[in-house]
Amino acid sequence: MTYAAPIADMRFALEACADLWSLRERFPDLDEDLLAAILEGAGALAGETLAPLNRSGDRARISLANDVVTTPRGFAEAYQAYKDGGWQGLAADPTYGGQGLPRAVALAVMESVHAANMAFGLLPMLTLGAIEAIEQHGAPDQKALYLEKLISGEWSGAMNLTEPQAGSDVGALTTKAVPQADGSYAITGQKIFITWGEHDLAPNIIHLVLARIEGAPAGSKGISLFIVPKFRDADGSRNAVRCIGLEEKMGIHASPTCTMAFEGATGWLIGEENRGLVAMFTMMNAARLNVGMEGVAVAEAAYQKALAYAKERKQGGALIIEHPDVRRMLMTMRAKIQAGRAICYACAVAADGDDKPMEDVLTPIAKSWSTDMGVEVASLGVQVHGGMGFVEQGGAAQFFRDARIAPIYEGTNGIQAIDLYGRKLLGDRGEAMRRVIDMAREAAGQSKDARVATHLGDAANALETATDYMLSAARDDALAGASAYLALAGDVVGGMLLARGVAKTSDAAQSAVLNYYADTVLARAGAHLPLIKLTAAPLAALG
């Protein structure tokens, strides 16, 4: 696989659309030259080291023997290069060796990593979640013990939430934690679908594990979070945690998805007893945004491959890129990728700027809209290839297979829609969403293109109508339309950000992308309204 980081598109989305430089006072060490160096350096790592391993890793897969997971050839060297480059700690606390840069910049780096090799990128992504959880909820001694090695990449991290009988309903978990005399806990239970829960790339893996302390309340109110290292801290001995199985998956074949057994493993409480969900959501929100970026990244890789194929494949005596329908597919891919990229970056900038209401409302949109888009774009990439897209030799199928997990990861996209409605919209009675609507109308008013202004303005009106309905509807009726509501919100946010960016530049290519997005996505925004207002009654016919 070949991949070239689309640095011009990334910088446009970061700087013009997501307004990165509004953070100058918070991050005075970041300037245009440093940003360029970071994006170019990450792009070189992605293109030269990670991308060549994407296809070979997919074919070789991983293996488990004697509790040890072996990764494909070349992954150890690639991880060493990633670690040596200091990429893991870009946005981490400088006290523990991080660089203290904006999360938006670190997210852009992760875009290149995931686009080049999503299976590999999941490893540092999970470590980022562990870093954030320990930074925000760990005791001083825990920060001193774990953060430096996680931030340097010497150790990796893993999230252990899901159990066979408790998927998204973490309140149903049965993993137990028994207090020990030395202040530790003995953790016993089984976790499934644990990404990079075991591997041979780092000498220690720091598991963050949800469990219930004996005597704790039932349900989610009785859940605590524990740090369970693969090797114990005091004497370096092997802890009682092991991988007992690997999932055979549709995609991301080079990424181990483990069943983990905790057999009286030594763990330490992070945060307060029975407050594990608070710490878990620190990891989860970070992961949700990163997974949204995965959707953008794999879509970009699929687009680059489809574009290259269209420029070399002849059909009917002409290159297929000359066919209007192929151009339609490619332009759809590019426009939606750029919108998703801007949404994810804008969410990260909101987090960096401590704009919590905007971060909260954008997180489920970034995760859900961008990953659904990633599947759609990867599917279009297969279509551009025709028959060669459907066979594995063509290489396009892998992007579709890999992308398909992202709408499921870290709370399915249906759960994101429920979150947008139940926690975010009802939580502030639509205040943050009305800010989004006002921003869209402002961007429409600033547009120099009449069609863009009309389509974006009409889409903002549709979102306002939908928001009023969601706030007034009965709960079941609102939930029936929640996914369509999120899709509409994503369409509007993407258009608003692209329009904001184009208003700041004179880039003809970005203007063309915006115009196409307005004519094909924003122009159909009102079509979401019947689905949003469907109500729960027709769904009862299912029985």
H/E stretch holding 270 reads: strand 257-270
Which of 129-133, 281-285, 315-319, 397-401 shows the lowest mean pLDDT across its residues?
281-285
Q: Which class for 472: exposed (0-12), middle (13-18), buried (19 or more C-beta within 10 A)?
A: exposed
Task: Using alpha carbons, select from 239, 177, 175, 255 the residue that is nearest to residue 204.
Answer: 239
Please report the pLDDT score of residue 236 as a whole number: 81
pLDDT score of 353: 97
What pTM, to 2 d.p., does this model score?
0.96
- Domain-located, residue 224: yes
pLDDT in tens, 465-500: 999 999 999 999 999 999 999 999 999 999 999 999
Those residues whose C-beta lies under 8 Å from the C-beta of residue 387, and which sit 6 or more positions away, are: none
Distance CA(274)–CA(380), nearest Å, equals: 46
Burial (CB < 10 A; 0-12, 13-18, 19+), residue 190, is middle
**pLDDT tens figures, 347-391:** 999 999 999 999 999 999 999 999 999 999 999 999 999 999 999
Radius of gyration of the chain (CA): 23
Give the length of the chain. Answer: 543
DSSP notation for 396-421: HHHHHHHHTTTTTTTS-HHHHHHHII
Distance CA 393, CA 407 (A): 26
Query: Is 179 domain-assigned?
Result: yes
- Which contiguous run of DSSP H or E holds residue 478? helix 475-480
End position of a domain, from candidates 245, 273, 301: 273
90, part of any domain: no
Domain count, the chain: 2
8 A C-beta contact, residue 405 and residue 122: no
Whole-angstrom CA distances from 112 to 39, 218, 282 are: 8, 42, 24
Give the pLDDT score at 235. Answer: 74
Of 284, 260, 140, residue with least CA distance to 205: 260
What pLDDT does residue 167 have?
66
pLDDT band at 543 (very low <50, low <70, confident <90, very high): confident
- 357 domain-assigned: no
Domain boundary among 221, 246, 273: 273
**135 lies in a domain?**
no
Residue 412 predicted with pLDDT over 70? yes
- Quick check: helix, strand or coil at residue 210? strand
Provide DSSP, 61-74: --EEETTEEEPPTT
The overall average pLDDT reported for the chain is: 96
Is residue 248 part of the annotated active site? The answer reads no
- The pLDDT tens digits for 302-347 are 999 999 999 999 988 899 999 999 999 999 999 999 999 999 999 9
Output phi, psi for 216, to 5 deg: -70, 155
What is the domain range of residue 419? 413-542
Instruction: Over range 149-165, report the average pLDDT.
Output: 94
Would residue 91 count as lying in a domain? no
The pLDDT of residue 446 is: 95
Q: Which of 410, 431, 442, 464 is catalytic?
A: 410
Six token digits for residue 294: 């995965």
pLDDT of residue 398: 98
d(CA 422, CA 390): 40
- Please state, in angstroms and rounded to a whole number, the distance separating the CA atoms of residues 340 and 403: 14
Cross-strand bridge partners of residue 338: none
Q: How confident is the model at residue 220, as a pLDDT?
A: 83
Residue 168 has pLDDT above 80, yes or no: no
Q: Note whether 123 and 201 are within 8 A (CB).
A: yes
- The confidence band for 233, taking pLDDT boundaries of 50, 70 and 90, is confident
Contact 101, 92 (CB under 8 A): no
Q: In which band, very low, low, confident or very high, does the pLDDT at 501 lie, cut at 50, 70 and 90?
A: very high
Q: What is the DSSP letter of 91?
A: T
The per-residue pLDDT for 447 is: 96
Report helix, strand or coil for 475. Answer: helix
Domain end point (choices 209, 242, 273): 273
Q: Is residue 84 part of a domain?
A: no
Interval 60-104: pLDDT, tens: 999 999 999 999 999 999 999 999 999 999 999 999 999 999 999
Cα separation values, 170 from 76, 162, 222, 334, Å: 33, 7, 11, 37
Q: In this structure, what CATH number is given to the domain that contains residue 241?
A: 2.40.110.20
Per-residue pLDDT, 234: 64
404, part of any domain: no
pLDDT at 146 over 70: yes
Mean pLDDT of 265-292: 91
pLDDT band at 34 (very low <50, low <70, confident <90, very high): very high
